[in-house]
Amino acid sequence: MSVQTLPLKRPKAPKIIARQEDVISVREFRKRARQGENMGLVYADIELINSDDLAFFRRGAIAENKIKRVTITALVDSGAEMLCINEQIKKKLDLPTLERYTAQLADESEIEVEVVGPIDVIFENRSTTVRALVMPQNAEVLLGAIPMEGMDVVIELKAERLVVNPKNPYIPSKYVK
């Protein structure tokens, strides 16, 4: 059996390299929002891929056109820890339920949600593999802090957009301490 690699069809360099003084880290964005500062709404186009399908493709078990994937516009929500998807995306990607969590919503109410995955999240020249919370019905997709930090992306406040970290525009940087 031959092992195949999947071309992720993403650029080698980010589309836009922001100036360092114009960006804010995910952690700083969360801190300011918790302190009541109005941070505005930021959206980003991301691709979600069933990670199990990628593994099957790499092992030659399925063709590339059988990999389940979807491109969506997500609300960048540093107040959410995880990626949050809706039931339609779970079904489209055919993601298995791994466990259940109690999720606290922005209004402080709590609901029980499924945890699904693994999912590859791709933004520009960055990717990370995460689990996701499945929110009810057709809820808006939220790109939370964990996948954002996994991809080493930052928020450009003036333009209200997500960009790759200008300190590391070509490959992500990770904290290991």
Residue 70: pLDDT above 70? yes
Give the tokens for residue 85.
Answer: 């998807």
Backbone φ and ψ for 64, nearest 5 degrees, come out as -60, -35
Which residue ranges make up each domain of the chain?
70-168
Per-residue pLDDT averaged across 18-31, rounded? 60
**Which residue has better confidence, 23 or 139?**
139
Round to whole Å and give the CA distance between 176 and 81. Answer: 19
Architecture of the domain whose range is 70-168? Beta Barrel (2.40)
Condensed to tens digits (0 to 9), the pLDDT of residues 109-164 reads: 999 999 999 999 999 999 999 999 999 989 999 999 999 999 999 988 888 899 99
Strand-strand pairing, 97-104 and 110-123: antiparallel
Q: Tell me the pTM.
A: 0.82
Split at pLDDT 50, 70, 90, the class of 29 is low
